[in-house]
Chain A
Amino acid sequence: MTGAPSIEAEVRALIAEVTRRDASAIGSDEDLVERLGVDSLQGLQILAGVEKRFTVTLPDEDLIRLRTIGRIARVVERLHKGGKS
């Protein structure tokens, strides 16, 4: 899990920026839609931020699947290692 906490922290900051809500108390595996009411548009803005910040391209299927901070961080880690999400 090396590096995952920092990725998570940055994803959390990004979510807070897009939703304008405090994301610090959200658990890694809590559903962002249920917990923060993230709508589909905000979801795309968050994922665009993830791609920009971590210089990755998320697979298309993940555009509707990535709904937790932990999962986003794990996919970014995997992509950095050259693996599949």
Chain B
Amino acid sequence: MRIGLIAMSGVRVRNAELAALGVTLPQFVSRGKIVASLPSLGLLTVAALTPDDCDVVYREIAEVRGDDPLEPFDLVGISSFTAQIDEAYLLADRYRAAGVPVVLGGLHVSMMPDEAAAHADSIVLYGAEGAWPKLIGDFRAGRLQRRYEGLRSRVFEPPNYVVPRFDLLAGRPYNRVTVQTSRGCPLDCEFCAASLRITSSYQQKPVDKVIEEIRAALAFRSSPFFELADDNTFVNRKWGKAFLRAVKPLGIRWFTETDISIADDEELLDLLADSGCRQVLIGFESPDAEGLDGIDPRNWKKEQSGRYLEAIDRIQSRGVTVNGCFIVGLDNHTPAVFEMVRDFVRTSGLLEVQVTVQTPFPNTPLYHRLRREGRLLEERYWDRCTLFDVTYRPKKMSVEELEGGLRYLFAELYNEREFLRRKRQYMEIVKATHWATTQAWAATVRSHAT
């Protein structure tokens, strides 16, 4: 049996002005290219959950797009995020019209199962663990069900857990590989449309399994940069320190997402720097406390906002850079937020920054609230869920002000002058910390001379 697994990847912006601006902005394009060039970890996991006697083929959407004849498969699995879901449906419809059964999965399908089911012979909700092996068995027996539910807990426990099929990446041009250490996030932000929505609680993979996966990936890629496909890696400090100690000997360079509470743990920060971590991405969301009010049920982020700058300094002083993420268009944001974000970024010493517009992804708490309040601009707008297109009426500014503000921030933050300024700021931090003393330098030279 030949199974085709097709990943929908890429980042696109619908707003023509932003798209035009985006292609000239080095840092935005750089991060966009990175995201677009990541392999689908979900489909590599699906491949690993497939029985050995099946021939599994991994494809990116760019390889199957167009009017070319469809590649022959006995079964097709497609995974997609919201912004590309209509393309996924079109491809699914083509395969089904050609008599090839299609299974749809991924975050959007889990959030909008009935919609997805209209374009598929079967859908998989939540993770593939606990669902895919049964689906394949049923398919072979000629009794494929319309819907399968993957596990929402005990995902990383045997027999549900498998090492993703990194061997399928051999010969492909990826220079980054994703590995997942956790699913979910305890913060439960209203807008979040990530793995939190497909888990019953925070799931953490045992350290030895993570290391096994990294080793498996290293067997097929030479010196890749690793991106942890997590939403909040260091929720459990004990696990975090054990992981950092275990990953250090592998000598890899890596990136992950976390929250600012890591800045409170000096030992963790030292281990982080020593482990090869190059950058952590942190969702600051808004530079002011008022803007953060109500975005998570405990108002945790609001409580932290007063120490954002100190936390950034503490992390970056280790040589680990912070990619600071801001969301504009939160309910308490007035047009003044755009200058506030610009000024915060300039003051903070952040080496990299990501600014996006609040996006009510389908079936999230934010989506339901805005829908209730009659603030969604369209009933169905999935192709505009790009994080850069405005899809709702903001509370304290107009749609045009939000769009204009985003353009303003792009122009202010993503240009060569700012890029150089941030590099220079980061170098000053490194000089003041890592290269702080001549004694340290002398020791360095001696150690490399011997």
Residues of A whose CB lies within 8 Å of any CB of B are 9-10, 12-14, 16-17, 20, 23, 37, 39, 41, 44-45, 47-49, 51-53, 60, 63
Contact = CB atoms under 8 A, between A and B. Distances in A.
A54 to B, nearest CB: 10
Interface in B394-450: 420, 423-424, 426-428, 430-431, 434-435, 441, 444-445, 447-449
A14 B321 CA distance: 19
Interface in B304-338: 319, 321
Given A39-B278, A60-B424, A17 B444 contact: yes
B435 A52 contact: yes
B223 to A, nearest CB: 6
B279 interface: yes
B51 interface: no
B426 to A, nearest CB: 6
B435 A48 contact: yes
Contacts, number: 57
Given A13-B445, A41-B279, A52-B441, A60 B427 contact: no
Nearest to A23: B448
Contacts of B424: 60, 63
B214 to A, nearest CB: 17
Given A14-B444, A53-B441, A48 B251 contact: no
Interface centre among B223, B225, B278, B431 (most CB of A within 10 A): B431
Contacts of A45: 319, 430, 434
Given A37-B223, A39-B278, A44 B427 contact: yes
A60 B441 contact: no
B448 A13 contact: yes
Contacts of A60: 420, 424
Contact of A16 (B253, B278, B428, B448): B448
A64 to B, nearest CB: 8
Contact of B427 (A13, A16, A37, A47): A47
Given A12-B448, A16-B448, A48-B427, 9 more contacts: A9-B445, A17-B444, A41-B278, A44-B430, A45-B430, A48-B426, A48-B430, A48-B431, A53-B435
Contacts of B420: 60, 63
Contacts of A48: 426-428, 430-431, 434-435
